[in-house]
Every structure is written in C-alpha cells, then in structure tokens.
Structure 1
C-alpha cells in the first residue's frame, strides 16, 4: 500500500516537473520572440470623437493621455497634437499644432513618431537612395546639406525610418547632410538569411554599408544617431567596423546597451522571475548564434569611443535607464566622454515628445560642437 502511494506521488511529481519544464520552455521561447521576431506595426489605436476649432477629442487610452507632443495618423493624412486641453470620462482633448483636422468618427493611430517621410513630416526636400548592402539594396532617405560631416540615423527594433525624423529639424537648420537608413528585415530592405533580428550583431554591417556610401558621396566624418536597438547597432559598428574611425561623435536615445539587463527588466515587468530573462537569452543565442553577453557595451566597450550624448527617460519600460547610467560610469572609468541626460517623464524613446525644447537644445549644442570642429 505504501509503495503504491509513493509511486503515485512520484508520478505526480514527475508530471508537475514536466509541466514546469514545458511552461519554462514556452516562456523562454516567447521571450526570445520579443527580441528577435520580425513584426510589422501600424494598426489604429484611437478614434476621433469630436472636433472643435484647433482641438480634437480622442478616445481616452494610456497612449492618448500622455503629456507632450505626438502625432495622429489616419488614411492619407495626419496632424501633430500638443498638450492635453481637457479630459472627460472616456475622452481626451488635445490641441492641433500643425497638419490637418480629422473628421468626427475617423479611426487613427496615435503615436510618438512623425508620419511619412521628411517632406510629409517637416516639409524638407529629400531623395531616396539605395544603399548597396551585402544582402542587397536597402532604401535610405537623404537630405543634402553643407560640408563633409554627415548625420546618419539608425532606428530601433521593428521600427521604421520615420522614427528618426524627430531630429531632422535641428540637423537641417544646422545645414548638416542627413542620411536616414534602413537595414535587414525592414520593409523594402533585404531579409536576413534566417529571417530573424540579431540585436545589432549583424545589422551593424548595413550601417557600415551606409557609412561607406556616405563616404563615396563626399563624407569625411559622420555623426551617428541611434534609438533603441539602433543604439546597439551603433555600438557594434564602433566595436567592429574599420570605418569606425570616421565617427566624430554619437547620439544614443534610449539605447539597448546590455541585452541581459533588458531581458531581466522585461521579465520583472511581466511579473516573472528574472532568470526567465536569462533563459530567453539562451534561446535567442541558440536560434541566432549571437553571443548575447558579448553585446554589452558596459562589459565590452567598443574599441572606438567618440564623444557620446546619451539620452534616456527615467520611466522607460523597454530599456531601463540603469543601462545608460552604468554606461556613463564605464565612460568615466575609461575617459570616454559621455554626457548623460535624463528626462523625468516619458516612456521609451519619448524624451523628445515630453520636452522638445530641451531635447532640441541638447542636440543643437552637441551638433554645433561638431560643426565647429575642423574638417
């Protein structure tokens, strides 16, 4: 009798262990997908409830009630929206700063990045050029300027080029040529051989191709601007490219600096133990062949370390601000000039949105120094 009970207990424990292993494996695979799976975004997330003068009333959501400057896009049109004018149950009314006034009932997408291309977003003329990468041609927006110092912008994971257009007004006012690139797995760009994102470990070669193209067109120095995973791409370029010595300085906004810290932070955000983040990174390594620990700019600083403006919002839930703080500490240890600027409000890559005046001022001062440097 006792042996029968022990056998049942053993079977139950084995079944429980199997369930836990399967659940852990599923969670790790799902976490890996969040890092390396290619996803297309753009669905509507709000609706216009009312229009009065230069103000629109939208459905009240976590997005539409954010403070600052954002955009509303709908079929064939867009508007830039300013601060909240008023709120009522289920409704948020915001000022229209520029663009068109939507009709009542219009479904749209409320977001933190400019719409369209440089002409649509800011009225700036541009041309689309094709960058010859190792996987095939990748499109880029080119805005001409004066001199031989170019600003090259790199967007983040599953993002689009338009995300980098926030900096274009300042760059254009300063007369610097601007190249806004795409890279493997972007819409219009070649896919990676395995169809997965490599967290900057292979994407940096597409940035290198863009720098080489800029050089062919007359660039002697470049300033790299990267947001989110674009920061990791910049970091890998500085670590591995022979063209890294062309970089005069870099600007990183909410960058992915340490994948391990990002994964642990994401796990805690979902209410699961931090070791699930480490487990998902092991799955990522198995699926892509990427050495995730080797991507850390904190533990493995790049060999080329130009002056760096580092911008991060404190509430960032995608990449914790602690990553930038530790990178700044690494800079102090290595005499790597890093200027860390924290913004008290705003989610991931929303520093410009919550305080455009300060963001533009930081950008202008940093770029003015580069423009004043001898060619």
Structure 2
C-alpha cells in the first residue's frame, strides 16, 4: 500500500508540474511579444507563369496567397497541380521568383499600400501615451475614415486586404500600429495586454485623425484587433464617433480562446478547461488584466454600432463558437450584427479562400456609410 501511495503521489506531482508548465506556456501564447522571421518555403520550379513550391501545410492550401522574398513578391492563385512534395500555383500579380529562392508564403499582403496594391500613401506618426507609433494613411473623400487594427503579434500589412475596396469607394484609410509593434513603443512590462491597454493606442489614432479632418469612423479589426475595437467601444469617449465596425476572426472571449489553445496542444477535453483557466490566471498575474472582462459576450460594449462579423468555420485560433455566442447575445440586446461564415480557411483566411465574396461583403457594408450615401 505504501508503494501504491508513493506512486500515486509521484503521478500527482508530475501532473501538477505538467499542468503548471502548460499554464505558463499558454500564458506565453497569449501575452508574449513575437516578431516573426521571413522564410517558410522554397521555389522548386518556374514555368509559364506558374511557380512550384515545396509542399507544406501552408503552401498546399486552396485560395489566394502571397510569396515574398528579398524585397519582391508574387500574388499566387489557387493550386493548379500537385505532385509528391510539390505544389504548383499560378502567378496572378507581381514578380516571378527564381528557382531555389527561399521566401515566406503567407495570407497577408506584402510591404505597404504602394507595394501591395500600387496605391499611394503617406506614413504618419500617431502620438500615443507611450510615444509615436507609425501608421499608413491613404487619403480619400469625406469625413468618415476607415481605421484598421491588426491582430496579436501581427503587422499593419495584414489589414491591407480591404484597401482596394476602401480606395474604390473613396474613403480615407488609416492602418495603425500599436504598442509592442515593430517601430512602435514597447509596453511598460514588454507584454501584450490582449486589448486591455492597446485600445488607448487606437483612441490616440482616432484623435489624430480628427485633427486631419475625420469626424466619423469605420473600424476594421482582425483577430486581437477586434478585441481592441471592442474595448474602445466599451471605454472610450470617442466610441460614439464610430459609425460601423467590421471584425474578421476576432478575439471575442479570451477564456474561450484559451480553451481552444489548450486543445491545440492536444490537452484532453476534460482537462482543457482547467489548464486554460490556470493559464488565464497566470496571464492576469503577469499583466494585471482582468481576463473575464475581455468577453464581448458577457460584457458587451456600451456603444454597439452595426457590425459585420466574418469568421471561418475551421479557425483553430478563435473557435467558431465565439462568434456564434456573440450573435446570440447580441440578439437579446438589439445589437445589429451581420454574421458571415466561410466554410474554408484557417484563422483570418476568409479573404484568401474567397476573395470575391469577401470584397463584396466589405463593399456592401461600407457603401452604407453616410459619406457615400449622403445621409
């Protein structure tokens, strides 16, 4: 019996230790600042406007993606053929890489507005409480501006997917950075705060836009950018200047996101909730953030403009249940949400898997702003 008891205690110690390590790793996934590298694929062949890449989980995805290398890029269309270890795609736009070129295959546009779409822009510095943060500004007509907010450890270029439609509609476009971004000030503790602090940098951008003639805003946010927008609507005196909102794969509920993160590490379902809860407690201890308050479902913002909510069903960062629960909660509040599901595509890849539909949704939603309708 003593031996059995000792074994049981040993197993318990191992489980507790493993759970603690998992909780810390989970908190790192949530709040650690990461600046990613630039190579994840290699060119194997080039022929007739087509590029053959090494097949990876990324390069074999259906849809439209970018391949960047050494200051150049290609916009690549859908897969046209496959062979063992190889995938061939059509070059839709941009340069054609040489054989053996290493580069980055990803779902966000390259460079800046001029590089990505040939659209002229200027870079302005937003005066945040921590110091200047760069933003891209594309001028337009009227006093309603589209302001874009990227996600966790992302870059401004991720928000450029909607720029062609915004530019065609003639609306001014401001693509911001915020604390801990490359070129922007670091947060005092060097950690992400999941929107709990970052919303103030968005507020600073809106205030600066007002000095440049903006009076109303359409806010566009992807991933954690959606949570940043949600916290601005909940806390900022400028919330009433927001005419409408677009969220693509937003972080709607941090606890639900944490549980999904635990599942991604193959934590059994009956343990995932416990590990996620412990991870959230570590996040709160490290940052001072009240994770429960970062639920747009249980704590909806005080200002709730019309919302276009876009989400892919297979998203393994923010599960589809998050937007489903938000839509259900919004119905009880009279919050106008247009919910659009995409059956394919990973996190923030709705544009990539069906650009035509995505652009049509954005165009239709933005066409209702007062500077376009005249109302």
Superposition TM-score, scaled by structure 2 size: 0.97
| CA distance in structure 1 between the partners assigned to 2:263 and 2:94 by the alignment | 40
SS of 2:220's partner is: strand
Encode CA deviations 1:282-302: one digit per residue, 9 max, x unaligned: 110111110101100000000
SS of 1:251's partner is: strand
Encode CA deviations 1:162-190: one digit per residue, 9 max, x unaligned: 00000000000000000000000000000
| CA distance in structure 1 between the partners assigned to 2:27 and 2:109 by the alignment | 29
| CA distance in structure 1 between the partners assigned to 2:334 and 2:262 by the alignment | 33
The residue that corresponds to 1:101 in the other structure is: 96
| CA distance in structure 2 between the partners assigned to 1:358 and 1:16 by the alignment | 53
The residue that corresponds to 2:238 in the other structure is: 243
1:46 Cα deviation after fit: 0.9
The residue that corresponds to 1:259 in the other structure is: 254
**Structure 2 stretches lacking a partner, 5+ long:** none
The residue that corresponds to 2:354 in the other structure is: 355
| CA distance in structure 2 between the partners assigned to 1:369 and 1:104 by the alignment | 47
1:197 maps to which of 171, 192, 198: 192
1:322 aligns with 2:321: yes
1:109 Cα deviation after fit: 0.7
The residue that corresponds to 1:184 in the other structure is: 179
The residue that corresponds to 1:48 in the other structure is: 43
SS of 1:264's partner is: helix
Encode CA deviations 1:295-347: one digit per residue, 9 max, x unaligned: 00000000000000000000101001111111111111111100000001000
1:157 aligns with 2:144: no
Aligned residues: 370
1:301 aligns with 2:300: yes
The residue that corresponds to 1:60 in the other structure is: 55
Superposition TM-score, scaled by structure 1 size: 0.97
Alignment of 1:3-82 (within 5 A): 6=2, 8-82=3-77
Aligned-residue CA RMSD (Å)? 1.1
| CA distance in structure 2 between the partners assigned to 1:58 and 1:73 by the alignment | 13
| CA distance in structure 2 between the partners assigned to 1:230 and 1:354 by the alignment | 21
The residue that corresponds to 1:311 in the other structure is: 310
The residue that corresponds to 1:372 in the other structure is: 372
2:218 maps to which of 212, 217, 223: 223
1:373 Cα deviation after fit: 4.5
1:113 aligns with 2:102: no
SS of 1:365's partner is: helix
1:124 maps to which of 114, 119, 125: 119
1:42 Cα deviation after fit: 2.7
Between stretches 12-21 and 100-109, larger displacement belongs to 12-21
| CA distance in structure 2 between the partners assigned to 1:173 and 1:221 by the alignment | 19
1:167 aligns with 2:153: no
**Structure 1 stretches lacking a partner, 5+ long:** none
1:19 Cα deviation after fit: 2.3
Structure-2 change in CA distance of 1:181 and 1:243 (3 Å): same
Encode CA deviations 1:183-239: one digit per residue, 9 max, x unaligned: 000000000000000000000000000010111111110000000000000000000
The residue that corresponds to 2:138 in the other structure is: 143
